[in-house]
Amino acid sequence: MPPKSSRAVTDKSPGTTARSPELLLGIYRLLLKCRISDEKARILFRQGKYGGNFYSAVGQEATNVGAAYGLRDDDWIAPSHRDWTSNIIKGAPLKFCFAQLFAKATSPDRGRSSPAHMGYPPLNVITPASSIAGQLSVGTGVAFGLKKHGRDSVVVAFFGDGATSTGTFHEALNFAGVHKLPCLYVCANNRWAESVPLRLQTALENLSDRAKAYGFPGVTVDGNDVLAVHDAAQAAVTRARAGEGPTLLECKTYRWYGHSEIDPAKYRTKEEVEGWKKKCPLAAFEKQLLDKKILTEAQKGQIASEITAEINAAVEFAEESPYPDASELADHVWAERGA
């Protein structure tokens, strides 16, 4: 079978019409939760509450929320360094998410991984390595294993534009294409890999064209339009569950802040950053919901304060949790050395 050629979906999403208010409010709540959690994580880092680094995804929330909203518990997420909030989206309790930043003994990995490099085994979020595109390796393998079981669960793997230059990306997606794996490859194309601009990363205009090398569909959407992302993702998930194989979903978006909290990001122009801030994925969606009266100002305030309360409790939990003990250093190296 010749591959379906990629199609670039640049037109606006159909908007809020004909969708249930529950869905729309669910998405809204999650967008907001990611935004506030992420901003909180940044503040905590700047306050010196934890070390290492944090990779903010503020500005990109529509991509992660749109792609992962509605996944089932038995679905998998393979996140990268900028996808700490994918744990939140998948349903991990916030207290564990903040405990992870603080590297406390109550975090899922007992403080081993760097902040933001979070997985959550009970809900199949794979603990990421920093090694770029590594999650595409592991995620593709999981998809292969799921298909082998005959299950209809899917894997959603997140990564950036830079990751598409790696050999790991190619080997994973080529394999997925050959075996029509139930995997959704979601590229948050934020136009920068640390300080390297897209034009030094690829000769392509649309990274979804990379899918043409693997014989499965590649789709480009406005990554700041949460419903556009969600529609495209749901179509891909449906395809995947039906055994029709993977999809590469490119979401054009932007990170508002530096690569990490210690990056002043001087390599970008003010105009570029301001231009993207005007396309705030949260504000745009909020306005839609307010305009259509699906959300009221009162509700909005209430949702925000519920989230803030939850975050505050989570931060408190994290702060009060103990660090792992030095004696744990060599635990979990091999199975015999489990704690």
Partner 1 sequence: MARTLTLIEAVNEALLQEMERDERVFLLGEDIGGSGGVFKATAGLLDKFGQDRVLDTPLAEGAIIAVAIGSSLVGWRPVAEIQFADFITPAMDQIIQQASKLRYRSAGGFSCHLTIRVCCGGGGGSGLYHSQENAMWFAHEPGLKVVMPSTAYDAKGLLLSAIRDPDPVIFFEHKRLYRTAKGEVPEGDYTVPIGPAAVRREGRDLTILTYGSLTQPSIDAAGQLAQKGVEAEVVEIRTLAPIDKETILNSVRKTSKVLIVHEDKRTMGFGAELAAIVSEEAFEDLDGPIVRVTGPDVPAIPFAPPLDKAWNVDTGAIVATAEKLAAY
Ligand X SMILES: Cc1ncc(C[n+]2csc(CCOP(=O)(O)OP(=O)(O)O)c2C)c(N)n1
Taking a C-beta distance cutoff of 8 angstroms, is the pair 123, 46 a contact? no
Q: How far apart are CA 224 and CA 279, in angstroms?
A: 7
CB under 5 to 8 A by kind: which of ligand X, its own copies, Mg ion, none does 169 bind?
Answer: its own copies
Binds its own copies (CB under 8 A): choice among 152, 171, 244, 286: 171
Asked about 120 being catalytic, the answer comes back as no
In terms of CB distance, is 100 or 260 closer to ligand X?
Answer: 260
Q: Catalytic residue among 267, 323, 332, 337, which? A: 267
Asked about 185 being catalytic, the answer comes back as no
Binding positions for Mg ion, 276-315, rule CB under 5 A: none
Question: 336, exposed or middle or buried, with CB in 10 Å at 0-12, 13-18, 19+?
Answer: exposed
Minimal distance, residue 198 CB to ligand X, in Å: 9
Phi, psi of 142 (to 5 degrees): -60, -45
Is residue 9 close enough to count as binding its own copies by CB under 8 A?
A: no
Binding positions for its own copies, 182-241, rule CB under 8 A: 199-205, 209-210, 212-216
Angle between helix axes 61-68 and 281-291 (nearest 10 degrees) is 60
| 319 three-class SS | helix
Stretch that binds its own copies, among 71-79, 97-105, 141-149, 167-175 (CB under 8 A): 167-175
Q: How far apart are CA 134 and CA 128, in angstroms?
A: 8
Is residue 10 close enough to count as binding ligand X by CB under 6 A?
A: no
Long-range contacts of 300-303 (CB under 8 A, 24+ apart): 303/28, 303/29, 303/32
Binds ligand X (CB under 6 A): choice among 40, 81, 95, 110: 81
Is residue 166 close enough to count as binding its own copies by CB under 8 A?
A: yes
Please tell me what DSSP assigns to residue 221.
Answer: E
Asked about 112 being catalytic, the answer comes back as no
CB under 5 to 8 A by kind: which of ligand X, partner 1, Mg ion, none does 82 bind?
Answer: ligand X
Long-range contacts of 6-9 (CB under 8 A, 24+ apart): 6/206, 6/208, 6/209, 6/211, 6/212, 6/217, 6/218, 6/219, 6/220, 6/248, 7/217, 7/219, 8/206, 8/208, 8/219, 8/220, 9/219, 9/220, 9/221, 9/228, 9/232
Q: Where are the alpha helices (DSSP H) in 150-225?
A: 167-179
Stretch that binds its own copies, among 56-64, 165-173, 261-269, 330-338 (CB under 8 A): 165-173
Residue bearing tokens 């406390």? 104
Minimal distance, residue 211 CB to ligand X, in Å: 17
Binds ligand X (CB under 6 A): choice among 5, 10, 130, 302: 130
CB under 5 to 8 A by kind: which of ligand X, its own copies, partner 1, none does 210 bind?
Answer: its own copies
Binds ligand X (CB under 6 A): choice among 56, 64, 87, 190: 190
Minimal distance, residue 168 CB to ligand X, in Å: 8
In terms of CB distance, is 66 or 245 closer to ligand X?
Answer: 66
Instruction: List interacting residues with Mg ion (CB under 5 A).
Output: 160-161, 190, 193
